[in-house]
């Protein structure tokens, strides 16, 4: 089944978790991705929250395979900031391979954050955000 961001925003947390655990890591992405925060999944508020966050806080990520890092596009002007290391490792959710976005050694602001992503459709990754080991939210990256 082909997935898109509007469909992800309508899914419940259980559906998002099942999609993530049922997907392979896929290749480490390259280049700029538009990001969508998935908060309150499956509710009428999820698309509105995502639009607000995209405009004011977080617009996506830019992956650089030559350095094995990424930069987040933040703020209303999409400034490239908040660097993470990118590598494959076991997911904290299900112990299967995923792509880890690790801020622990690269960011003073987000050193307690770890993201995990998996490819769910061509050019579309589903991600999980952890604060220490606690799950926070989901997100989508569209290349």
Domains plus CATH for the chain? 5-142 (2.40.160)
Quick one: pLDDT band at residue 5, thresholds 50, 70, 90?
very high
pLDDT score recorded for residue 19: 98
The closest alpha carbon to 86, from 103, 110, 111, belongs to: 103
Residue 32 dihedral angles phi and psi, to the nearest 5°: -90, 135
CA distance 142 to 121: 9
Percent helix, strand and coil across the chain, each to the nearest 5 = 20, 45, 35
pLDDT score recorded for residue 2: 84
Question: How do residues 34-93 score in pLDDT, each as one tens digit?
Answer: 999 999 999 999 999 999 999 899 999 999 999 999 999 999 989 999 999 999 999 999
Q: Name the DSSP letter for residue 6.
A: H
pLDDT exceeds cutoff 80 at 1? no
Mean pLDDT calculated for residue range 100-129: 96
pLDDT score recorded for residue 108: 87
């Amino acid at each position: 089944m082909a997935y898109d961001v509007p469909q992800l925003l309508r899914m419940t947390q259980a559906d998002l978790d099942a999609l993530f655990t049922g997907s392979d890591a896929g290749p480490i992405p390259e280049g700029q991705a538009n990001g969508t925060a998935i908060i309150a999944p499956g509710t009428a508020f999820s698309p509105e929250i995502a639009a607000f966050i995209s405009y004011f806080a977080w617009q996506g990520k830019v992956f650089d395979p030559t350095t094995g890092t990424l930069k987040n596009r933040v703020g209303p002007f999409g400034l490239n900031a908040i660097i993470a290391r990118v590598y494959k490792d076991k997911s904290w959710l299900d112990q299967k391979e995923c792509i880890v976005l690790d801020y622990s050694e690269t960011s003073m602001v987000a050193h307690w954050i770890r993201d995990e992503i998996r490819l769910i459709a061509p050019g579309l990754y589903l991600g999980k955000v952890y604060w220490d080991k606690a799950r926070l939210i989901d997100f989508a990256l569209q290349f």
